[in-house]
Amino acid sequence: MRTRYIIGNWKMNKTATEAGAFVRRLMQELPASDGIQVGFAPPFTALHAAREALGSTSTLLLGAQDLYWEEKGAFTGEVSGTMLKDLGCRFVLVGHSERRQYFGEQDSWTNKKVLAALRNGLQPVLCVGETLQDRESDQIDLVIQRQLRAGLAGIEAQSLETMVIAYEPVWAIGTGRAASPEQAVPVHRLIRGTMNELSGSEAGQRVRILYGGSVTPHNLADFLASEEIDGALVGGACLDPVSFATLAKVAIGSKPTTA
Protein backbone atom coordinates (compact mmCIF):
# COMPACT_ATOMS: atom_id res chain seq x y z
CA MET A 1 0.00 0.00 0.00
CA ARG A 2 1.18 3.54 -0.72
CA THR A 3 2.16 5.59 2.33
CA ARG A 4 -0.51 8.15 3.03
CA TYR A 5 0.21 11.84 3.06
CA ILE A 6 -1.50 14.52 5.05
CA ILE A 7 -0.25 17.89 3.90
CA GLY A 8 -1.25 21.27 5.27
CA ASN A 9 -1.20 24.29 2.99
CA TRP A 10 -1.07 27.36 5.18
CA LYS A 11 -1.63 29.71 2.21
CA MET A 12 -0.99 33.34 3.27
CA ASN A 13 -1.38 32.70 6.98
CA LYS A 14 0.91 32.93 10.03
CA THR A 15 3.94 35.05 10.74
CA ALA A 16 7.33 33.49 11.45
CA THR A 17 6.67 33.91 15.18
CA GLU A 18 3.29 32.19 14.92
CA ALA A 19 4.85 29.40 12.87
CA GLY A 20 7.32 28.55 15.64
CA ALA A 21 4.52 28.35 18.21
CA PHE A 22 2.37 26.25 15.85
CA VAL A 23 5.12 23.70 15.23
CA ARG A 24 5.94 23.31 18.93
CA ARG A 25 2.26 22.69 19.72
CA LEU A 26 1.83 20.35 16.77
CA MET A 27 4.71 18.19 17.91
CA GLN A 28 3.07 17.84 21.34
CA GLU A 29 -0.23 16.84 19.76
CA LEU A 30 0.97 14.44 17.07
CA PRO A 31 1.22 10.76 17.77
CA ALA A 32 4.18 8.86 16.28
CA SER A 33 2.90 9.01 12.73
CA ASP A 34 3.41 5.35 11.91
CA GLY A 35 2.81 4.51 8.29
CA ILE A 36 1.83 8.02 7.20
CA GLN A 37 3.72 11.13 6.26
CA VAL A 38 2.66 14.47 7.63
CA GLY A 39 3.89 17.71 6.11
CA PHE A 40 3.01 21.35 5.94
CA ALA A 41 3.77 24.30 3.71
CA PRO A 42 4.11 27.69 5.45
CA PRO A 43 4.62 30.94 3.56
CA PHE A 44 8.24 31.54 2.48
CA THR A 45 8.74 34.01 5.33
CA ALA A 46 7.96 31.38 7.98
CA LEU A 47 9.99 28.47 6.56
CA HIS A 48 13.12 29.16 8.56
CA ALA A 49 11.25 29.56 11.85
CA ALA A 50 9.32 26.35 11.17
CA ARG A 51 12.54 24.48 10.37
CA GLU A 52 14.16 25.70 13.60
CA ALA A 53 11.14 24.68 15.67
CA LEU A 54 11.06 21.22 14.06
CA GLY A 55 14.67 20.53 15.06
CA SER A 56 16.85 17.99 13.35
CA THR A 57 15.05 14.79 14.31
CA SER A 58 11.44 15.50 13.35
CA THR A 59 9.89 13.27 10.70
CA LEU A 60 7.45 16.03 9.74
CA LEU A 61 8.03 17.23 6.20
CA LEU A 62 8.52 20.91 5.54
CA GLY A 63 7.44 22.24 2.16
CA ALA A 64 6.85 25.44 0.23
CA GLN A 65 3.77 26.68 -1.60
CA ASP A 66 5.48 27.63 -4.87
CA LEU A 67 8.87 28.13 -6.49
CA TYR A 68 10.37 29.81 -9.51
CA TRP A 69 12.05 27.69 -12.16
CA GLU A 70 15.34 29.55 -12.50
CA GLU A 71 18.06 28.85 -9.92
CA LYS A 72 19.05 32.50 -9.34
CA GLY A 73 19.27 35.86 -11.03
CA ALA A 74 17.30 39.01 -11.76
CA PHE A 75 13.80 37.75 -10.95
CA THR A 76 12.56 40.20 -8.34
CA GLY A 77 10.29 38.68 -5.75
CA GLU A 78 10.87 35.07 -6.75
CA VAL A 79 12.28 32.14 -4.75
CA SER A 80 14.16 29.23 -6.33
CA GLY A 81 14.23 25.51 -5.64
CA THR A 82 17.86 25.80 -4.57
CA MET A 83 16.84 28.30 -1.89
CA LEU A 84 14.00 26.10 -0.67
CA LYS A 85 16.20 23.03 -0.51
CA ASP A 86 18.76 24.98 1.50
CA LEU A 87 16.02 25.93 4.00
CA GLY A 88 15.23 22.27 4.58
CA CYS A 89 12.16 21.93 2.35
CA ARG A 90 11.34 18.42 1.17
CA PHE A 91 8.38 19.13 -1.09
CA VAL A 92 6.82 22.03 -2.96
CA LEU A 93 3.29 22.69 -4.17
CA VAL A 94 3.05 23.51 -7.86
CA GLY A 95 0.10 24.88 -9.82
CA HIS A 96 -2.28 25.43 -6.93
CA SER A 97 -5.59 26.73 -8.28
CA GLU A 98 -5.12 30.01 -6.40
CA ARG A 99 -1.86 30.53 -8.33
CA ARG A 100 -3.70 29.75 -11.56
CA GLN A 101 -6.72 31.91 -10.69
CA TYR A 102 -5.09 35.00 -9.14
CA PHE A 103 -1.58 35.02 -10.55
CA GLY A 104 -2.07 33.81 -14.11
CA GLU A 105 -0.16 30.56 -13.64
CA GLN A 106 -0.23 28.51 -16.83
CA ASP A 107 0.39 24.85 -17.52
CA SER A 108 3.67 25.72 -19.24
CA TRP A 109 4.86 27.34 -16.00
CA THR A 110 3.80 24.41 -13.84
CA ASN A 111 5.86 22.20 -16.14
CA LYS A 112 8.98 24.31 -15.64
CA LYS A 113 8.32 24.41 -11.89
CA VAL A 114 7.91 20.63 -11.62
CA LEU A 115 11.20 20.19 -13.51
CA ALA A 116 12.93 22.74 -11.27
CA ALA A 117 11.65 20.99 -8.14
CA LEU A 118 12.90 17.60 -9.35
CA ARG A 119 16.27 19.08 -10.31
CA ASN A 120 16.63 20.33 -6.75
CA GLY A 121 15.56 17.13 -5.04
CA LEU A 122 12.20 18.52 -3.93
CA GLN A 123 9.11 16.35 -4.24
CA PRO A 124 6.63 18.21 -6.47
CA VAL A 125 2.99 18.17 -5.41
CA LEU A 126 1.21 19.09 -8.64
CA CYS A 127 -2.28 20.46 -8.03
CA VAL A 128 -5.00 19.90 -10.60
CA GLY A 129 -8.73 20.47 -10.53
CA GLU A 130 -11.73 21.64 -12.48
CA THR A 131 -13.88 24.72 -11.90
CA LEU A 132 -17.62 24.45 -11.31
CA GLN A 133 -18.17 25.59 -14.88
CA ASP A 134 -15.88 22.80 -16.16
CA ARG A 135 -17.83 20.27 -14.11
CA GLU A 136 -21.23 21.53 -15.24
CA SER A 137 -20.17 21.48 -18.88
CA ASP A 138 -18.78 17.96 -18.66
CA GLN A 139 -15.19 19.06 -19.13
CA ILE A 140 -13.65 17.39 -16.09
CA ASP A 141 -11.65 14.75 -17.97
CA LEU A 142 -10.46 17.23 -20.54
CA VAL A 143 -9.27 19.78 -17.99
CA ILE A 144 -7.58 17.31 -15.67
CA GLN A 145 -5.82 15.52 -18.52
CA ARG A 146 -4.66 18.83 -19.97
CA GLN A 147 -3.26 19.96 -16.63
CA LEU A 148 -1.46 16.65 -16.15
CA ARG A 149 -0.12 16.20 -19.68
CA ALA A 150 1.09 19.79 -19.99
CA GLY A 151 2.36 20.03 -16.41
CA LEU A 152 4.30 16.78 -16.70
CA ALA A 153 5.58 17.06 -20.27
CA GLY A 154 9.07 15.72 -20.73
CA ILE A 155 9.36 14.17 -17.28
CA GLU A 156 10.88 10.71 -17.11
CA ALA A 157 8.90 7.73 -15.85
CA GLN A 158 11.36 7.31 -13.00
CA SER A 159 10.59 10.82 -11.74
CA LEU A 160 6.86 10.60 -12.43
CA GLU A 161 6.44 7.81 -9.95
CA THR A 162 7.95 9.89 -7.13
CA MET A 163 5.39 12.63 -7.63
CA VAL A 164 2.38 13.58 -5.63
CA ILE A 165 -0.73 14.77 -7.45
CA ALA A 166 -3.36 16.70 -5.53
CA TYR A 167 -6.86 16.65 -6.97
CA GLU A 168 -8.46 19.86 -5.76
CA PRO A 169 -11.77 20.71 -7.42
CA VAL A 170 -11.76 24.52 -7.45
CA TRP A 171 -15.41 24.69 -6.36
CA ALA A 172 -14.62 22.70 -3.21
CA ILE A 173 -11.74 24.87 -2.00
CA GLY A 174 -12.54 27.04 1.00
CA THR A 175 -16.27 26.69 0.42
CA GLY A 176 -17.13 24.11 3.07
CA ARG A 177 -18.58 22.11 0.16
CA ALA A 178 -16.22 19.16 -0.13
CA ALA A 179 -16.61 16.84 -3.09
CA SER A 180 -18.25 13.59 -2.12
CA PRO A 181 -16.05 10.50 -2.35
CA GLU A 182 -18.36 9.42 -5.20
CA GLN A 183 -17.38 12.58 -7.07
CA ALA A 184 -13.68 12.39 -6.21
CA VAL A 185 -12.91 8.71 -6.78
CA PRO A 186 -13.54 8.65 -10.57
CA VAL A 187 -11.24 11.64 -10.99
CA HIS A 188 -8.56 9.91 -8.91
CA ARG A 189 -8.90 6.89 -11.21
CA LEU A 190 -8.58 9.13 -14.24
CA ILE A 191 -5.43 10.70 -12.76
CA ARG A 192 -3.85 7.32 -12.04
CA GLY A 193 -4.69 6.06 -15.50
CA THR A 194 -3.14 9.16 -17.04
CA MET A 195 -0.01 8.75 -14.91
CA ASN A 196 0.29 5.14 -16.12
CA GLU A 197 -0.04 6.33 -19.69
CA LEU A 198 2.48 9.12 -19.27
CA SER A 199 5.02 6.84 -17.67
CA GLY A 200 4.39 4.08 -20.22
CA SER A 201 4.25 1.57 -17.39
CA GLU A 202 2.56 0.80 -14.13
CA ALA A 203 4.61 3.53 -12.44
CA GLY A 204 1.37 5.38 -11.93
CA GLN A 205 0.52 2.80 -9.29
CA ARG A 206 3.18 4.31 -7.05
CA VAL A 207 2.09 7.94 -7.45
CA ARG A 208 0.30 9.35 -4.43
CA ILE A 209 -2.93 11.08 -5.29
CA LEU A 210 -4.38 13.34 -2.60
CA TYR A 211 -7.79 14.93 -2.36
CA GLY A 212 -8.08 18.61 -1.39
CA GLY A 213 -11.07 20.91 -0.90
CA SER A 214 -12.84 21.53 2.43
CA VAL A 215 -11.28 18.50 4.12
CA THR A 216 -11.97 18.42 7.87
CA PRO A 217 -11.40 15.95 10.69
CA HIS A 218 -15.08 14.99 10.16
CA ASN A 219 -14.97 14.03 6.49
CA LEU A 220 -11.39 12.79 6.03
CA ALA A 221 -12.16 9.17 6.89
CA ASP A 222 -14.83 9.07 4.15
CA PHE A 223 -12.19 9.91 1.55
CA LEU A 224 -9.61 7.52 2.96
CA ALA A 225 -12.15 4.70 2.81
CA SER A 226 -11.27 4.50 -0.88
CA GLU A 227 -8.01 2.86 -1.94
CA GLU A 228 -7.84 5.45 -4.70
CA ILE A 229 -7.31 8.32 -2.26
CA ASP A 230 -3.86 8.39 -0.68
CA GLY A 231 -4.34 11.32 1.65
CA ALA A 232 -5.32 14.95 1.74
CA LEU A 233 -4.08 18.44 0.99
CA VAL A 234 -5.73 20.61 3.60
CA GLY A 235 -6.20 24.38 3.81
CA GLY A 236 -8.47 25.83 6.52
CA ALA A 237 -8.43 22.80 8.83
CA CYS A 238 -4.61 22.72 8.99
CA LEU A 239 -4.19 26.12 10.59
CA ASP A 240 -4.96 24.99 14.11
CA PRO A 241 -2.39 22.51 15.48
CA VAL A 242 -5.00 20.45 17.32
CA SER A 243 -7.22 20.17 14.24
CA PHE A 244 -4.23 19.30 12.03
CA ALA A 245 -3.05 16.64 14.49
CA THR A 246 -6.57 15.21 14.51
CA LEU A 247 -6.41 14.85 10.73
CA ALA A 248 -3.17 12.88 11.10
CA LYS A 249 -4.78 10.68 13.75
CA VAL A 250 -7.73 9.97 11.46
CA ALA A 251 -5.33 9.00 8.66
CA ILE A 252 -3.41 6.66 10.94
CA GLY A 253 -6.57 5.05 12.24
CA SER A 254 -8.64 4.52 9.10
CA LYS A 255 -8.25 1.70 6.61
CA PRO A 256 -9.42 1.70 3.00
CA THR A 257 -12.34 -0.60 2.40
CA THR A 258 -13.13 -0.19 -1.28
CA ALA A 259 -11.06 -0.72 -4.39
Active site residues: 96, 168
Beta-strand ranges (E) seen in 95-201 are 123-128, 164-167
Q: Is residue 129 near ligand 13P by the rule CB under 6 A?
A: no
Q: Which of 111, 120, 214, 246 binds ligand 13P (CB under 6 A)?
A: 214
The β-bridge relationship of strands 36-41 and 91-94 is unpaired
Q: To the nearest whole angstrom, how small is the minimum distance from the Cβ of residue 165 to ligand 13P?
A: 13
Q: Say how far apart CA 165 and CA 161 lie, in whole Å.
A: 10
x-marked contacts with ligand 13P along 23-62 as a string, rule CB under 6 A? ----------------------------------------
Q: Is 235 in the site for ligand 13P (CB under 6 A)?
A: yes
The C-alpha atoms of residue 21 and residue 53 are separated, in whole angstroms, by 8
What does the alpha-carbon distance between residue 142 and residue 231 come to, in Å, rounded to a whole number? Answer: 24
Please name the residue ranges forming H helices in 152-227.
157-160, 181-199, 220-224
Q: Binding ligand 13P by CB under 6 A: which of 63, 169, 212, 241?
A: 212
Task: List the one residue from 105, 134, 168, 228 that touches ligand 13P (CB under 6 A).
Answer: 168
Compute the least distance from the CB of residue 191 to ligand 13P, in Å: 16
Q: By CB under 6 A, is residue 88 in contact with ligand 13P? A: no
- The residue type found at 114 is V
Nearer to ligand 13P, 37 or 199 (CB): 37
| CB closer to ligand 13P out of 65 and 226 | 65
Write phi, then psi, for 9 (nearest 5 degrees): -110, 105
Contact present, 101 and 87 (Cβ < 8 Å): no
User: What is the largest distance, in Å, between two alpha-carbon atoms of the chain?
Assistant: 51
Near ligand 13P by CB under 6 A: residue from 174, 186, 200, 253: 174
Residue 225's SS3 state is coil
Exactly one of 234, 247, 250, 251 binds ligand 13P (CB under 6 A); that residue is: 234
Confirm or reject binding of residue 217 to ligand 13P (CB under 6 A). Answer: no
Question: What region does 157 belong to: left with phi over 0, alpha with psi -120 to 50, or beta?
Answer: alpha
194 binds ligand 13P (CB under 6 A): no
Residues lying near ligand 13P in the complex (CB under 6 A):
9, 96, 168, 173-174, 212-215, 233-237
